[in-house]
Amino acid sequence: MRPEEPDVTVELKSKTRGVVNPTVVRWVAFVIITVSLVVCTVLCVLAIWQFTESDAVWRAIATFIVVSIATAIFTFVNEKLG
């Protein structure tokens, strides 16, 4: 006589949920932050060589910080409250 198999299924990894697919949101956030970082780096190098004004560099850095924080907040809210 064979022992009966249990009807209980245990999931080891919890599923992430969100209004928008969390995997897609993470990838989009990664791309946005990476592009912003590259643009800021290029502007900083151009400012060092005096091809652009230093005012543009500070605006680019401030924009990078705002975009990064907004992207991180959106990702967090999507995963936690979605």
Instruction: Assess whether pLDDT exceeds 70 at residue 13.
Output: no
Given this model, what pLDDT does residue 1 score? Answer: 64
Task: Tell me the C-alpha distance between 1 and 53, whole Å.
Answer: 84
The amino acid occupying position 73 is I
Helix H or strand E encompassing 80: helix 54-81
Token pair for residue 67?
A: 């975009």
The amino acid occupying position 19 is V
The amino acid occupying position 81 is L
The tens digit of pLDDT for each residue in 16-75 reads 678 889 899 999 999 999 999 999 999 889 888 888 877 888 998 999 999 999 999 999
Task: Tell me the C-alpha distance between 4 and 7, whole Å.
Answer: 9
